A and B are shown apart, each in its own frame.
Chain A
Amino acid sequence: MYAYDELDRTLISERVSEFRDQVKRRLSGELTEDEFKILRLQNGVYLQLHAYMFRVAIPYGTLSSKQLRALAHVARRYDRGYGHFTTRQNIQFNWIKLAELPDALADLAEVGIHAMQTSGNNMRNVTSDQWAGVAPGEIEDPRIWSELLRQHTTLHPEFSFLPRKFKIAITASEHDRAAIKIHDIGLRLHKNADGETGFEVLVGGGLGRTPFIAKTIKPFVHGRDILSYVEAILRVYNQYGRRDNIYKARIKILVHELGIEKFAREVEEEWKQMGDVGLTLDHAAIEEVRSRFSYPAYEKLPHMPDELKQAAHDPVFERWRKNSVFPHKVQGYSIVTLSLKPVGGPPGDATAEQMDAIADLADRYSFGEIRVGHEQNLALPHVAKRDLPALFKALDRVGLATPNVNLVTDIIACPGLDYCSLANARSIPIAQELTRRFANHDTAGLIGRLHINISGCINACGHHHVGHIGILGVEKNGEEFYQITIGGRADENAQMGTLIGPAVPYAEVADVIEDIVEAYLALRDRPEELFVDTVKRLGVEPFRERVYATR
């Protein structure tokens, strides 16, 4: 965990008091909505269909139990008793009153949580691997660098009014769980031949109406230079990014229009001219931030404790363990994913009661720590294996032990037309119906790893382009229709899915997905061949045939 000190706490409370003043001026009419809109967005406040929506940052996906309880408190006191975890390590509350927002922010500030730059045309919450610091084989904890970048990007005087939003993600593992290739800047931590820590820097990834996979702009930037290098990228973007058309304003369009080589030269030139502007991170500066991350005092525990051997006779426990429990870098410990995708539930939602229960379980079994992943699930990062059976029972009691992690019902979905003023079509009811169709966990297990992503409009908050199966809601003559793509992926081999054919109406989506899955089961050459690999091997044609032959 990163412990905020007096300076971080002061800054957050100064931000709360500034926002309180801004809200006061808005409600008195001193600020027009046009002026206020940007100010509220910079603090995570959107206006949705029914009410204001409030997005709170969970930097690099790490939460303490105390912080999670504060989120539960906000859900209960200021909202309708639940929150929605997003694909970028944020949580959203859907029914917040503007007049009460400053109080909600003040309550969160007490535990070091804020909503700075969770929206608006500025640098958004810096995200990372939800297994940071505990994943086996990780080069080093990427959160040290995430925190350095979090501080650097917070209330940045030069880059708070960029052409468009700007998202940075960091990974330090071979397997990319942070989806860095669909970010404006993706940073892959690695070591050079001299054993020094640095980053492969990728730019220009993003989804939305013009999706791009990020390209490498520099294979190795030394850790000490990462802030100045990011600053150089931002400066080029701030000056040359398009401001004439909101749909062409993201950095991916600038990179695309200039070409990666020319863009890289611009950045390189700016970076060289920058000289020493106080951004170089010496050893002491990095250690200063590192020193404020605390790690659990792990015990020396057996690889296979008796508790686990006994519980292995319980098939329900075993199914959950095989699905939701992952290896930890320390022997005797596990990472446990908590599925927020119960059958029939809205993906990523958690009630205040669940949040409180998770906080209690984190205190008892995970050194008080919780993680939030971009798949809209939570994780307990340090669970002793001997505690797994007890944890399973406790999770099951509060509906958090659905054994569907990475399976067909582990659906990523945006809020869609049920909440969002930009949406063309609903997302959540589609997800709910799909989880009912595939409710049998044994069947889902047989199908294997399969990611379904649903977006209610072209802005792609549900990352439909990179779903193994992507579902995009569109509007045709006032009716909801859905375009289906297959073969996308968001990991280190990120790529966009391919459209299989004409859009289908709301009522037929679940049937179509069932057809696609059945086609896959018939077409895969062995049970271990994953859905995406079958699509890669055979292309979309056999799937298209199956879906449209009878429609």
Chain B
Amino acid sequence: MTSPLEQKKIRITGPSVVTANRTWDGAVVYRTGQRGWSTELVDAAIVSTSDDARALLAESAADDVGAVGAYIAPVEIKDGGSIKPGNLREHIRAKGVTIDLRVPA
């Protein structure tokens, strides 16, 4: 779970997406194939080569107004074709905290 802030060289070993936080509200977003952002992982553009990842990241990072801190994150493609976050950090970003919060009903 190396912080993406330390992500320097781009070399991916499996299917990946570009993710960031939306500027106006900070929400977790994924880069889509249509040069936009979506809050749903299912909408994310999936890349599987380092060159494609680099290109998608460069294109995403150019949108400095729309989202902040874009980086490449691994995903898992399940047998049925559904997409899941590829590590615990991304799981937490996608699904929320792993603790029971004392938030009133």
Instruction: Enumerate chain A interface residues (CB-CB to B < 8 A).
Output: 26-29, 32-33, 47-52, 80-82, 95-99, 342, 344-346, 349, 351-353, 399, 417-419, 421-426, 428-429, 432, 475, 478, 480
With CB as the reference atom, state the residue of chain B lying closest to A45: B26
Complex contact B28–A26 (CB within 8 A)? no
A49 and B23 contact, Cβ closer than 8 Å, known pairs A353-B104, A421-B5: no
**Can you name 25 A-B pairs with beta carbons within 8 Å?**
A27-B23, A47-B26, A47-B69, A49-B93, A50-B27, A50-B97, A51-B25, A81-B103, A95-B26, A97-B24, A98-B24, A342-B102, A345-B102, A346-B102, A352-B104, A417-B89, A417-B92, A418-B98, A418-B99, A421-B5, A425-B1, A429-B98, A429-B99, A478-B87, A480-B1
Whether B68 is near chain A, meaning CB under 8 Å from some CB there, is: yes
Complex contact A432–B93 (CB within 8 A)? no
Instruction: Enumerate chain B interface residues (CB-CB to A < 8 A).
Output: 1-5, 21, 23-28, 64-65, 68-69, 87-89, 92-93, 96-104
Complex contact B1–A99 (CB within 8 A)? no
Residue numbers in A under 8 Å from B4 (CB-CB): 421
Residue numbers in A under 8 Å from B88 (CB-CB): 417, 478, 480
Complex contact A27–B24 (CB within 8 A)? yes
With CB as the reference atom, state the residue of chain B lying closest to A479: B88
B91 to chain A, nearest CB (A): 10
CA distance A85 to B60 in the complex (A): 35
CA distance A422 to B3 in the complex (A): 6
Residue numbers in B under 8 Å from A424 (CB-CB): 1-2
With CB as the reference atom, state the residue of chain A lying closest to B87: A478
CA distance A98 to B67 in the complex (A): 12
Complex contact B102–A349 (CB within 8 A)? yes
Complex contact A49–B92 (CB within 8 A)? yes
Residue numbers in A under 8 Å from B98 (CB-CB): 418, 426, 429
Q: Which 4 A-B pairs have the closest CB atoms?
A: A51-B26, A97-B25, A52-B26, A29-B65
CA distance A64 to B16 in the complex (A): 50
Complex contact A50–B69 (CB within 8 A)? no
CA distance A33 to B68 in the complex (A): 7
Residue numbers in A under 8 Å from B93 (CB-CB): 49-50
B49 to chain A, nearest CB (A): 22
Residue numbers in B under 8 Å from A345 (CB-CB): 102
CA distance A421 to B71 in the complex (A): 12
CA distance A432 to B97 in the complex (A): 13
Residue numbers in B under 8 Å from A52 (CB-CB): 21, 25-26
Of A28, A342, A421, A425, most buried by chain B (CB within 10 Å of CB) is A421
With CB as the reference atom, state the residue of chain A lying closest to B65: A29
A207 to chain B, nearest CB (A): 18
A102 to chain B, nearest CB (A): 12
CA distance A421 to B89 in the complex (A): 9
CA distance A425 to B1 in the complex (A): 8
Complex contact B69–A33 (CB within 8 A)? yes
With CB as the reference atom, state the residue of chain A lying closest to B96: A50
Complex contact A432–B25 (CB within 8 A)? no
A351 and B103 contact, Cβ closer than 8 Å, known pairs A32-B64, A417-B89: yes
Q: Specify which of A33, A48, A344 is in contact with B100 (CB 8 Å cutoff).
A: A344
Residue numbers in B under 8 Å from A349 (CB-CB): 101-102
For the complex with contacts A47-B21, A417-B89, 11 further pairs of A-B residues with Cβ separation under 8 Å are A26-B23, A32-B64, A47-B26, A52-B21, A81-B104, A98-B23, A346-B99, A399-B102, A417-B88, A421-B3, A428-B99
Q: Specify which of B3, B65, B104 is in contact with A351 (CB 8 Å cutoff).
A: B104
A26 to chain B, nearest CB (A): 7
CA distance A531 to B39 in the complex (A): 48
Residue numbers in A under 8 Å from B104 (CB-CB): 81, 351-353
A411 to chain B, nearest CB (A): 13
Residue numbers in B under 8 Å from A80 (CB-CB): 101, 103
A59 to chain B, nearest CB (A): 26
Q: Specify which of B28, B87, B96, B99 is in contact with A432 (CB 8 Å cutoff).
A: B99
Residue numbers in B under 8 Å from A33 (CB-CB): 23, 64, 68-69
Complex contact B1–A478 (CB within 8 A)? yes
Residue numbers in B under 8 Å from A480 (CB-CB): 1, 88
Of B4, B25, B93, B102, most buried by chain A (CB within 10 Å of CB) is B102
Of B24, B25, B26, most buried by chain A (CB within 10 Å of CB) is B26
